[in-house]
């Protein structure tokens, strides 16, 4: 597979070139100050006037101290707030530094399974559906729902990319294919960025992942630090193709002479980064999740759930920000302004009513009581106990049973953003320990 090394100072040029062929998405702070960060469309900067410093030159003036890993991830830098994602609103030319943040607040899934999306438009002519007089119902696809131009995501972390392989099992399933999701997946090339310094909340190896894992990726990039006297003030990105699509992308960049092939010392540097990251992350791992289902199958009625749920507020932050959670609700949103403008009836009578609207799919969460509330008023998950248990059971027992993989990639977002510090790593280890005591077998017996 192909590999290409570019200087970090050339990143803006690389992204700008890619923008000619693809819509390019990059990790970014929210356009609204203080809002959560996610992925957004990269907008190429105009080329500088002759004699003026361009983005490449200005890159070298970035103050690393104010953009370091600690500040970007933990918010512990100057003026930061511990435990919160202190946004750094970096201008475009500082993008390479922004890529040093470990994870965006909002997960990559939003580019494939949007938080809210219209899936159907409709127009009902006549008396709300009656068509005895020649009127009727028409259904159409709302404009702009599906991406037209192919897309590239640059800088997705391996856990986020791996989450797509979880979502594929649900939305790209042969029996129930989701055309919206599938078309976005087919339309997108993903360039991942390995994690040189995993965050304290990361635990991907416990879920089968790796800080430099390639699941779900087309290209994996390594952030190679600057070496003394290498002529670059910031170092390089070394990109390695994982799929044929990734190879084609690197070929496109290579033809534009925007990089060069890696040397043997680059390969050694990549291996050293991998080794260091794996060693760092290994220190704080919970129990392995791959065999948790065996224990969970036996502790449905264990008293642990009664204590675990007590501090949960039911805010659903853990599920909305989770890259693998995929529950949704569908609602009809009629357009009241258009409901009385149907025009004259075919018989020349008074204006006939018309109803237009859209059917919208929205993220939902098993942490809300209304999620399972029946029309009858009965709720099979009436309290937090059942809901918290469901979240854990689904990720580590039901999903592996149905799809052969745990529905967690160890990104740590739910750990970081839960307002009451309900830490899923502790839950995992506690359940694994229950298995060790044999309690699972005794309760299920
Ligand atoms: S359960 Fe938590 S750690 Fe696992 S993928 Fe979801 S947000 Fe990340
Ligand atoms: S983020 Fe924490 S408090 Fe909110 S629903 Fe999830 S576990 Fe409960």
Which atom of ligand 1 lies nearest, measured to the CA of 410?
3
C-alpha 385 to ligand 2 mean position (Å): 12
Residue 257 domain-assigned (yes or no):
yes
The whole domain housing 305 covers 292-327+364-444
Residue 66 domain-assigned (yes or no):
yes
| 130 lies in the same domain as 225 | no
| 157 lies in the same domain as 220 | yes
C-alpha 380 to ligand 1 mean position (Å): 25
Q: Which residue's CA lies nearest to atom 2 of ligand 2?
A: 418
Residues 149-171: tens digit of each pLDDT:
999 999 999 999 999 999 999 99
Ligand of minimum distance to the alpha carbon of 422: 2
| 136 lies in the same domain as 28 | no
C-alpha 123 to ligand 2 mean position (Å): 40
Residue 164 domain-assigned (yes or no):
yes
| 356 lies in the same domain as 369 | no
pTM: 0.84
Q: Does the structure show a pLDDT above 50 at 62? A: no
Q: Which residue's CA lies nearest to atom 8 of ligand 1?
A: 411
Q: Does the structure show a pLDDT above 90 at 134? A: no
C-alpha 198 to ligand 2 mean position (Å): 23
| 301 lies in the same domain as 422 | yes
| 159 lies in the same domain as 68 | yes
Q: Give the pLDDT score at 113.
A: 96
Q: Which residue's CA lies nearest to atom 5 of ligand 1?
A: 408
Q: Which residue's CA lies nearest to atom 6 of ligand 1?
A: 322
Query: Which percentage of the chain shows pLDDT scores above 90?
Result: 62
| 80 lies in the same domain as 169 | yes
Name the domain count of the chain.
Answer: 3
Q: Which residue's CA lies nearest to atom 1 of ligand 1?
A: 408
| 249 lies in the same domain as 345 | no
Confidence of residue 73 (pLDDT cuts 50, 70, 90): very low
Three-class HEC string of the chain: CCEEEEEHHHHHHHHHHHHHHCEEEEEECCCCCCCCCEEEECCCCCCCCCCCCCHHHHHCCCCHHHHCHHHHHHCCCCCCCCCCCCCCCCCHHHHHHHCCCCCCCCCHHHHCCCCEEEEEEEEEECCCCCCCCCCCEEEECCCCCCCCCCEEEEEECHHHHHHHHHHHHHHCCCCCCCHHHHHHHHCEEEEEECCCCCCCCCCHHHHCCCCCCCCCCCEEEEEECCCCCCCCCCCEEEEEECCHHHHHHHHHHHHCCCCECCCHHHHHHHHHHHHHHHHHHHCCCCCCCCCHHHHHCCCCCCCHHHHHHHHCCCCCHHHHCCCCCCCEEEEEEEEHHHCCCCCECCCCCCECCEEEEEEEEEECCCCCHHHHCCCCCCCCCCCHHHHHHHHHHHHHHHHHHHHCCCCCCCCCHHHHHCCCCCCHHHHHHHHHHHHHHCHHHHHHC
Which atom of ligand 1 lies nearest, measured to the CA of 321?
7
| 156 lies in the same domain as 254 | yes
Confidence of residue 339 (pLDDT cuts 50, 70, 90): low
Domain boundary among 220, 248, 282: 282
| 388 lies in the same domain as 345 | no
Confidence of residue 76 (pLDDT cuts 50, 70, 90): very low
- With a 6 A CB cut-off, is 95 part of the ligand 1 pocket? no
Residue 248 domain-assigned (yes or no):
yes
Residues 196-235: tens digit of each pLDDT:
999 999 999 999 999 999 999 999 999 998 766 555 557 8
| 229 lies in the same domain as 249 | yes
Residue 106 domain-assigned (yes or no):
yes
Q: Give the pLDDT score at 136.
A: 75
**Mean per-residue pLDDT for 266-283?**
95
């Amino acid at each position: 597979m192909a590999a290409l090394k570019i200087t970090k100072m050339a990143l803006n040029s690389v992204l700008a070139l890619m923008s000619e062929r693809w819509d390019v998405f990059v990790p970014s702070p929210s356009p609204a100050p203080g809002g959560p960060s996610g992925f957004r469309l990269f907008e190429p900067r105009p080329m500088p006037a002759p004699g003026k410093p361009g983005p490449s030159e200005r890159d070298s003036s970035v103050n690393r101290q104010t953009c370091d890993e600690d500040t970007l991830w933990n918010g512990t830098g100057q003026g930061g707030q511990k435990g919160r994602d202190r946004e750094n609103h970096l201008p475009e030319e500082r993008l390479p530094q922004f890529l040093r943040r470990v994870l965006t607040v909002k997960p990559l899934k939003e580019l494939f399974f949007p938080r809210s999306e219209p899936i159907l438009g409709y127009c009902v002519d006549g008396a709300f559906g009656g068509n005895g007089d020649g009127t009727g119902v028409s259904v159409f696809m709302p404009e702009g729902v599906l991406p037209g131009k192919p897309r590239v995501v640059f800088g997705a972390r391996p856990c986020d990319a791996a989450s797509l392989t979880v979502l594929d099992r649900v939305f790209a399933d042969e029996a129930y294919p989701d055309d919206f999701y599938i078309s976005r997946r087919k339309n997108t090339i993903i360039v991942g960025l390995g994690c040189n310094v995993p965050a304290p909340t990361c635990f991907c190896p416990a879920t089968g992942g790796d800080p430099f894992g390639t699941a779900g990726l087309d290209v994996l990039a390594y952030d190679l630090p600057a070496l003394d006297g290498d002529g670059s003030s910031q170092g390089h990105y070394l990109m390695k193709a994982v799929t044929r699509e990734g190879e084609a992308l690197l070929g496109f960049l290579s033809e534009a002479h925007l990089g060069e092939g890696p040397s043997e010392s680059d390969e050694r540097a990549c291996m050293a980064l991998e080794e260091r990251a794996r060693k760092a992350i290994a220190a704080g791992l919970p129990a392995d999740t791959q065999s948790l289902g065996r224990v969970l199958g036996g502790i449905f009625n264990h008293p642990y759930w009664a204590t675990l749920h007590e501090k949960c507020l039911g805010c659903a932050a853990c599920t909305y920000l989770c890259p693998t959670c995929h529950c949704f609700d569908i609602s009809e949103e009629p357009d009241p302004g258009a409901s009385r403008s149907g025009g004259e009836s075919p018989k020349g009578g008074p204006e006939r009513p018309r109803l237009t609207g859209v059917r919208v799919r929205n993220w939902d969460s098993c942490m809300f009581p209304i999620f399972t509330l029946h029309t009858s008023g009965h709720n099979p998950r009436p309290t937090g106990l059942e809901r918290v248990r469901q979240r854990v059971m689904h990720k580590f027992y039901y999903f592996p049973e149905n799809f052969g993989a745990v529905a967690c990639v160890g990104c740590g977002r739910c750990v970081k953003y839960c307002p009451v510090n309900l830490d899923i790593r502790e839950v995992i280890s506690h359940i694994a320990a229950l298995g060790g005591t044999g309690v699972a077998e005794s309760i299920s017996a």
